[in-house]
Amino acid sequence: MKFYEMLVKSYDTIFPFQPDTFRFIREGLHAGDKVLDAACGTGTYTLPLQEEGILACGVDLEEAMIEEAEKKRQRLGIDGDFVVSNMLDIDLVSEGDLRRIFIIGNSLVHLHSLDEVRNFLASAYDLLAKEGDLLLQIINYDRILDQKITKLPDIRVPEAELLFLRRYQYDPAIHKVEFSTTLTLGTESRTSTVDLLPLRRAELEEALNECGFTEINVYGDFKKSPWTPNSMMLVMAARKLK
């Protein structure tokens, strides 16, 4: 089995539904609100929104993830959309007037440059209705870079015979982090490597301001704990007021 096939098969075990995350995403929404999940995976947080009558659309670059999300939606017997798309093309997926866009799971740093990040943020701004907001979550790269962190906590699920290892190696010459993941299921192991863009808090705040966002709140987790240089996460909520 290839790495990605193993990942899709185990995705919901590795990254299960987290109530704190959902509360953060769900806060202030009402049935009929239009929402876009810009990197939805298997629909872990899109589907519960759809179940509540929120008009949530899930987007992911990987077709296998969208196929799995669609299977789950059909099993639940609910209405909702899932679309295969690059996060840079969200303007082709949505007609706009969105109450909320969210992109979590360290997905934003898969973009290749700060210019691409700005392009995504600008598209998100254009698609949001007045008073709409953008929710972002990535790893706290201030911590990764300043403390020279080389790994994230291992994920072990003994009952599923699953081990998920995540290793970081920063290359200052290209300002990228080589992110290596090894997934073991039983006796089978596969490894994948991808370059990530290590966005610092200040860079992301500046990019949000440049794209027109105001009222930017910064947290260290989905419980809205204050962000510190030692926080594991960087979580942001930015509002469009014009």
The 10 Å Cβ neighbour count of residue 239 is 15
pLDDT tens-digit series, residues 182-229: 999 999 999 999 999 999 999 999 999 999 998 999 999 999 999 999
pLDDT tens-digit series, residues 137-174: 999 999 999 999 999 999 999 999 999 999 999 999 99
Q: How far apart are CA 120 and CA 59, in angstroms?
A: 13
Q: What amino acid occupies position 58?
A: G
pLDDT tens-digit series, residues 121-139: 999 999 999 999 999 999 9
**How big is the CA angle at 224 (ends 221 and 228), to the nearest 5 degrees?**
60
Q: Give residue 125's pLDDT.
A: 98
Q: What amino acid occupies position 47?
A: L
Contact 81, 37 (CB under 8 A): no
Residue corresponding to tokens 């202030």: 28
Q: 131 burial class (0-12, 13-18, 19+ CB within 10 angstroms)?
A: exposed
Torsion over CA: 9, 13, 15, 19 (sign):
positive
Q: How many CA atoms lie within 13 A of 119 on its CB side?
A: 12
Instruction: Give the ranges where the chain is alpha helix by DSSP (H).
Output: 3-14, 19-26, 46-51, 63-76, 90-93, 114-127, 141-146, 201-210
Q: What are the DSSP calls for 157-197, one per residue?
A: EGGGTEEEEEEEEEETTTTEEEEEEEEEETTEEEEEEEEE-
Read off the DSSP letter of residue 109. G
Q: How far apart are CA 59 and CA 57, in angstroms?
A: 7
pLDDT higher than threshold 90 for residue 43: yes
The 10 Å Cβ neighbour count of residue 229 is 11
The pTM (predicted TM-score) of the whole model is: 0.95
Q: What amino acid occupies position 92?
A: L
pLDDT higher than threshold 90 for residue 5: no
Q: Give residue 105's pLDDT.
A: 96
Beta strands of 89-175 (E only): which ranges? 98-103, 128-139, 151-157, 162-171
Torsion over CA: 47, 180, 62, 5 (sign):
negative
Sort strands 81-84 and 55-60 into parallel, antiparallel or unpaired: parallel
